[in-house]
């Protein structure tokens, strides 16, 4: 079978590897239908931007770092009861490295889904689980004034979840007007350019309870600390040192929370919302490419230049 491999920074190849086999009774064999590209984690691995504990070694394992996708069950272990051959399933990073034609994973991480939803719409579901995990750490979302900073795929996903979770008002902040327009179509109540100092000052006076920071930029994180009246939820990731003024949040008893990963309960809840069509991951997909090394490299160039939101590869 074929698998993507990052042989060296900015050098990706499609290689031949043995097709995996079911070993444990609770495992399933999945034929991949689509995998999506993480615009943060994968881009940093592709360009070798991580340092410290996150630093990567090359060549990367086959299929790595694919961690968002969907597939179809080819075979099941003897103790598997919730899945059958032919079932369509949602997959996440806990299932394995997904940029390859087949994977074997435990039953619990392959959540059944409806075949009426296209594979490219299902592929980014893991991102929605990540967003739900950080929102669950929030203390004030229901009937709250919420702000989303940064409207990449994560920020757009956050808008969908805030609607489902009952936020009273959703305001988005972004430097690109096109992304602000997209946010309004997804249900945001207001959209502000990050360069509009007067509008941001007026927003602060409204004392939004919860701010979700999705850009990962230092400017976005500082803005979250400044705007939030009650809590700042940091989803965007930045591994560079950040200098801040502690008084900015200490004087208003601001809670600052992050969430590195999600558990099975959040994954299962996310799948349920997708299957009920309350959440639509397809809304954040801007491009669909083929599963080739050339298209993967093209996708990385587009993401680097911010010419795409979420890119999905179909097998």
**pTM for this prediction:** 0.96
Both tokens of 12, joined, read 């990706």
Report yes or no on 132 lying in a domain.
no
For 141-188, the DSSP string reads -TT-EEEEE--SHHHHHHHHHHHHTT-SEEEEEES-HHHHHHHHHTT-
183 and 249 within one domain: yes
84 and 30 within one domain: yes
286 and 248 within one domain: no
Instruction: Give the CATH number, domain containing residue 219.
Output: 3.40.50.720
Instruction: Give the CATH number, domain containing residue 12.
Output: 3.90.180.10
283: DSSP letter: G
Give me the tens of pLDDT residue by residue for the chain, a chain 315 residues long: 999 999 999 999 999 999 999 999 999 999 999 999 998 889 889 999 887 656 788 999 999 999 999 999 999 999 999 999 999 999 999 999 999 999 999 999 999 999 899 999 999 999 999 999 999 999 999 999 999 999 999 999 999 999 999 999 999 999 999 999 999 999 999 999 999 999 999 999 999 999 999 999 999 999 999 999 999 999 988 778 888 888 888 889 999 999 989 999 999 999 999 999 999 999 999 999 999 999 999 999 999 998 999 999 999
Q: Provide the strand spans (E) within the chain.
A: 2-8, 11-16, 27-37, 68-76, 88-92, 102-106, 111-112, 145-149, 169-174, 190-193, 210-213, 231-234, 255-258, 285-290, 310-314
95 and 162 within one domain: no
Q: Under a CB-based contact definition with an 8 Å cutoff, are residues 234 and 255 in contact?
A: no
Task: State how far the alpha carbon of 116 is from the alpha carbons of 76, 228, 274, 311, in Å.
Answer: 22, 40, 12, 21
166 and 101 within one domain: no
284 and 246 within one domain: no
User: Of the residues 213, 231, 258, which one is the last residue of a structural domain?
Assistant: 258
Cβ partners under 8 Å of residue 300, min gap 6: 10, 12, 37, 42, 43, 46, 47
pLDDT of residue 53: 59
pLDDT of residue 249: 85
Residue 29: give the domain boundaries.
2-127+262-314
158 and 47 within one domain: no
- How far is residue 42's CA from residue 245's CA, in Å, rounded to a whole number? 31
249 and 279 within one domain: no
User: Of the residues 211, 243, 258, which one is the last residue of a structural domain?
Assistant: 258
């Amino acid at each position: 079978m074929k698998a993507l491999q990052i042989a060296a920074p900015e050098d990706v190849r499609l290689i031949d590897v043995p097709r995996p086999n079911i070993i444990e009774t609770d495992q399933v064999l999945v034929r991949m239908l689509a995998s999506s590209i993480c615009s943060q984690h994968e881009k940093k691995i592709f360009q070798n931007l991580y340092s410290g504990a996150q630093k990567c070694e090359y060549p990367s394992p086959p299929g790595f770092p694919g961690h968002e996708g969907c597939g179809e069950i080819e075979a099941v272990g003897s103790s598997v009861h919730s899945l059958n051959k032919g079932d369509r399933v949602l997959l996440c990073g806990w299932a394995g490295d997904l940029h390859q034609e087949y994977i074997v994973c435990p039953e619990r991480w392959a959540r059944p889904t409806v075949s009426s939803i296209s594979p490219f719409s299902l592929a980014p579901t893991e991102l929605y689980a990540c967003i739900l995990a950080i929102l669950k750490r929030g203390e004030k979302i229901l009937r709250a004034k919420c702000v989303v900073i940064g409207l990449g795929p994560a920020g757009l996903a956050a808008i969908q979840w805030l609607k489902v979770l009952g936020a009273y008002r959703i305001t988005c902040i972004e430097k690109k007007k096109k992304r602000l327009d997209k946010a309004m179509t997804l249900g945001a109540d207001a959209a502000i350019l990050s360069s509009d100092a007067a509008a941001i000052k007026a927003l602060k006076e409204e004392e939004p309870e919860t701010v979700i920071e999705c850009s990962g930029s230092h400017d976005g994180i500082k803005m979250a600390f400044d705007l939030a009246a009650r809590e700042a939820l940091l989803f965007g990731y930045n591994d560079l040192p950040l200098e801040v003024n502690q008084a900015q949040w200490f004087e208003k008893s601001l809670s600052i929370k992050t969430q590195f990963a999600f558990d099975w309960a959040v994954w299962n809840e996310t799948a349920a919302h997708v299957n009920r069509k309350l959440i639509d991951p397809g809304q954040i997909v801007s491009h669909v490419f083929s599963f080739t090394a050339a298209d993967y490299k093209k996708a990385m160039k587009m993401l680097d230049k911010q010419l795409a939101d979420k890119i999905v590869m179909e097998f």
